[in-house]
Amino acid sequence: MQVDMKKRSPALDVIRCFALLCVICVHFFRNTDLYAVTINGKVLLGMISLRNFFMICVPLFLMLSGYLLKNKRPGKAYYFKLVQTIGIYLLASVACGVYKVLFASEPISIGAAVRGLFSFSTAGYGWYVEMYLGLFLLIPFLNMMYEGAKTQKNRKLLVCSLLILTALPSILNIWKLLPLSWWLRPSSSQSYDYLVPDYWIMIFPITYYVIGAYLRDYPLRLKRSVNLLLILLVFAVGGLFNYYRSYGTFFVGGEWSDYRSILVVVQSVLVFHFLNGLDYSRVGDKTAAVLGRLSSWTLGAYLCSEIFDGLFYPLITEHVSGMLMRLLYFPLIVPAVYICSLALSAILNGIYALCARLFRRKKICVQTSGPKHG
């Protein structure tokens, strides 16, 4: 598949590749047992801070969708684009299924792997595709709603309304008002007092999509230096807050540490704006083409990274005792999983492209060899 550089933005390709890196970084902390150690000390503070920062992974992907697809309308051409997403998902699921059946320490049966294609479980990270399929079907109608707002004021109110529904609970529904001793060590109880409704929190993909569309029309007006300082500030605040919530016990997750967290929302917007605002004028055509190619492989790499998680992390946990020592392998394992996942995704994308060409060729042959009249 040729990459048309006239239609691609190196900035958006960089954001997509960085989002994939963040995904793999988040999985590193899970696979090296960060969530199974007592949270205290400077090293754990640093790890908790990094984990919180890398939670921008999925939000960046969703904001990219809003940024790129805000003008799409329902129609055959639009819905046909879903074919490639489903094709890559199926190929990645087959690859994950083969790995699990033949090589995983806890293999699944072939029948279970086939059934898992429909429940998005054969590929362990298939939940993302399950979520995105629903969002994709809604996108043309979300665009109508967004365009119907017409003015910047109304569109800003739309974004704020979605934030109230999905992110406000991450601020107000995470406290236990009494006893006062709870505030000294919030990890002592995970029962919180609800102050606002949280029924709609799971529509956060729509929130990020609309934010992406809004940023396309109304970019932030921040100097690059200020933007970077704000990213560092939110990084520090988010890390300290998550450390405070878990101090003295195992990692305590909640609305404040998930994609719905207002801290993650703010960090995602700041990072998106920073990467999108960098000067890419010196990026040559060849480099831009490579970025475009890597960017097109990120979905498959996301799904296939489960395979390399399963291959690499058991080696660490088996031969390196203690979570703190395993953290030293972060700069080795994360790039290894990243590169291997992209390489496998490149193969799967190549298989998909080949199948698509054969299908089109067969279709043309059928049309040209049909009965002639007259």
Whether pLDDT at 84 is above 50:
yes
Give the residue from 137, 135, 10 showing the smallest Cα distance to 62.
Answer: 135
Give the residue from 250, 51, 266 showing the smallest Cα distance to 171.
Answer: 266
**Is residue 259 very low, low, confident or very high in pLDDT (cuts 50, 70, 90)?**
very high
- Its pTM stands at 0.93
Give mean pLDDT, residues 146-167.
97
**Total structural domains in the chain?**
1
Q: What's the rounded Cα separation, in Å, for the pair 302 and 21?
A: 9
306 contacts: CB under 8 Å, gap ≥ 6: 96, 123, 124, 125
Q: What's the rounded Cα separation, in Å, for the pair 171 and 195?
A: 10
Whether pLDDT at 66 is above 90:
yes
Q: Which residue has the higher pLDDT, 101 or 344?
A: 344
In a domain, 373, yes or no: no
Give the residue from 195, 221, 203 showing the smallest Cα distance to 158.
Answer: 203
**Residue-level pLDDT at 104:** 82
**Is residue 369 very low, low, confident or very high in pLDDT (cuts 50, 70, 90)?**
low
**Residue-level pLDDT at 106:** 74
Q: H or E stretch including 43?
A: helix 42-54
Q: Angle formed by the axes of helices 127-149 and 82-102, to 10°?
A: 160
Q: What's the rounded Cα separation, in Å, for the pair 341 and 166?
A: 32
In a domain, 158, yes or no: yes
- Rg of the Cα trace of the chain? 23
318: buried, middle or exposed (CB in 10 Å: 19+, 13-18, 0-12)?
A: exposed
Q: What's the rounded Cα separation, in Å, for the pair 42 and 39?
A: 10
In this structure, which long-range contacts are made by residues 363-369, counting pairs with CB atoms below 8 Å and at least 24 apart in sequence? none
What's the full length of the chain, in residues? Answer: 374
Q: Tell me the pLDDT of the chain averaged across its residues.
A: 92
261: buried, middle or exposed (CB in 10 Å: 19+, 13-18, 0-12)?
A: buried
Q: What's the rounded Cα separation, in Å, for the pair 344 and 34?
A: 27
State the SS3 of 171-211: HHCCECCCCHHHHHCHHHCCCCECCCCCCCHHHHHHHHHHH
Q: What is the DSSP letter of 39?
A: B
**Residue-level pLDDT at 327:** 87
Quick one: tokens of 155? 């569109």
Whether pLDDT at 362 is above 70:
no
Give mean pLDDT, residues 238-254.
95
Range of the domain at 10: 5-367
Whether pLDDT at 363 is above 70:
no
Instruction: Yes or no: say if 333 and 317 are a contact pair by the CB < 8 Å rule.
Output: no
If one counts every other C-beta atom within 10 angstroms of the C-beta of residue 184, the result is 9
Q: What is the DSSP letter of 259?
A: T
Q: What's the rounded Cα separation, in Å, for the pair 137 and 75?
A: 11
Q: Angle formed by the axes of helices 127-149 and 204-217, to 10°?
A: 50
User: How far is CA 127 from its chain centroid?
Assistant: 11
In a domain, 374, yes or no: no
DSSP 345-357: HHHHHHHHHHHHH
In a domain, 132, yes or no: yes
pLDDT in tens, 332-347: 999 999 999 999 999 9
Lowest-confidence range among 12-21, 95-104, 359-368? 359-368
In a domain, 270, yes or no: yes
